[in-house]
Amino acid sequence: MTAAAQVQNAARPQGSGGLAAVMEQERQPKPVLHPSPGLGAWLKEIGGSLAFSTYQSSRLFFLFADEDGATVAQERIVGSAMGLAVNERALWVSNKEQIWRFSNVGSLTIKDELWQAVYMPRKGYFIGRCDTHDIVPGGIFKGRGYELAFVNTAFSCIATVDPHYGFRPLWKPDFITALSPEDRCHLNGMGVQDGQLAYVTLCGRFDTPIGWKAVKNGGGCVIDIRTDEVLCATGLSMPHSPRWHQGRLWLLNSGDGDFGYLDNGRFVPVALCPGFARGLCFIGDYAVIGLSKLRDNFFSTGMALKSRLEDLHIPQRAGLLVIDLRTGQTVHWLTIEGVVTELYDVAFLPGITRPYTPGFAEPQLHRRVIHAPEGEFVFAPPRPLPDSKPETLTEGTPS
């Protein structure tokens, strides 16, 4: 077993899930992260960092390298974190009922340490029980602009956030006859091509409540939502995370445990994943994949992945895989033990080697005034109240 990564934790996480949920999360043992020997050096070489969400344990992680190339992980509790979306200005994080925008307010020194990008929570949408999965930053779809698009799994559609309503539908499969919170087809994944919404994955083409669960093995498909063309209709088991990269549509055939791509409507496996794969991003010739352990309930009953790993004597893992697309080999990894057993999404932060977020904790950092005259970020500490002593800002590198 490799040495554990250095993990930085917020002292008192706050925010989603209610006080009771937060207190329970604080009482839980901290997860232990075991990186491969070269993971930190690779992150340093590519000049960026990773963000990943852990769903069932309500965590958001930043993963990066220190000056010596050692792997460092920063942990925050933000609710049942699922879909991630990143651009140069913001990091969006979704959960089942909410979507949060963390603004990149630029570099900031916090207790003598300079952080290259500081992500502060700035906006939250309360969308109701949509069971949000993948999310994509703003753009245009069929002539309609959107601030953020998300997979509305409960209502079997692609939707966008709205300042007044819970959501606005953008697209639904042609076989879905009504927008009803019944998770009819388990629409879960969404991807873009050339900046436009393009592809979705779903687990079964059904128009009945939770109909997809009858065909977990082999009932999934991929649809091009620009044309409603079904690109792959056979052989997919609970597919996730469609991503266009290097002229190919890649995805995770999660129920079978394969990472691969589509070729003329046929799924071509490239690598076996030792866990339920969800979350996929690309960095040049490398793919980063999120892994979850199978749930010990009806979810994994009869799933081909479970028996396949048992037959191969491969233990299930939660964490990350880094796959070299040129060889199909795993070149780096991160294994997580303890309270974290599931991941949902992973995203690359290009050019950002020292990211930081207070999450919903560190109130002294939240009280700082951050404004943008002429498009430039300026930081100013809060002024002391009359007849009071100046406040000493004590935010620092979490222990």
pLDDT tens per residue across span 212-259: 988 888 899 999 999 999 998 888 999 999 999 999 999 999 999 999
CATH topology of domain 6-380: Neuraminidase (2.120.10)
pLDDT category of residue 364 using cuts at 50, 70 and 90? confident
Going by C-beta distance under 8 Å and a sequence separation of 6 or more, which residues neighbour residue 283? 46, 48, 348, 350
- Residue range 81-106: average pLDDT? 93
Q: Count CB neighbours of 115 within 10 A.
A: 18
- Whether residue 386 is predicted with pLDDT greater than 60 in this model: the reply is no
Q: What residue ranges do the domains of the chain occupy?
A: 6-380
Q: Are strands 6-9 and 144-152 parallel, antiparallel or unpaired?
A: unpaired
pLDDT tens per residue across span 122-175: 999 999 999 999 999 988 899 888 999 999 999 999 999 999 999 999 999 999
pLDDT tens per residue across span 166-206: 999 999 999 999 999 999 999 999 999 998 999 999 999 99
Cα dihedral across residues 194, 195, 198, 202: positive or negative: positive
Q: Tokens in use for 242?
A: 């469609």
pLDDT tens per residue across span 277-288: 999 999 999 999
Block residue for tokens 């998300």:
150
- Residue range 283-301: average pLDDT? 88
Q: Mapped to the 3 state alphabet, what secondary structure does the chain carry?
A: CCCCCEEEECCCCCCCCHHHHHHHHHHCCCCEEEECCCHHHHHHHHCEEEEEECHHHCEEEEEEECCCCCEEEEEEECCCCCCEEECCCEEEEECCCEEEEEEECCCEEECCEEECEEEEEEEEEECCCCCEEEEEEEEEECCEEEEEEEEECCCCEEEECCCCCCCEEEECCCCCCCCCCCCCCCEEEEEEECCEEEEEEECCCCCCCCHHHHHCCCCEEEEECCCCEEEEEEEECCEEEEEEECCEEEEEECCCCEEEEEECCEEEEEEECCCEEEEEEEECCEEEEEEECCCCCCCCCCCHHHHHHHHCCCCCCCEEEEEECCCCEEEEEEEEECCCCCCCCEEEEECCCCEECCCCCCHHHHCCEEECHHHCCEEECCCCCCCCCCCCCCCCCCC
Amino acid at 261: Y
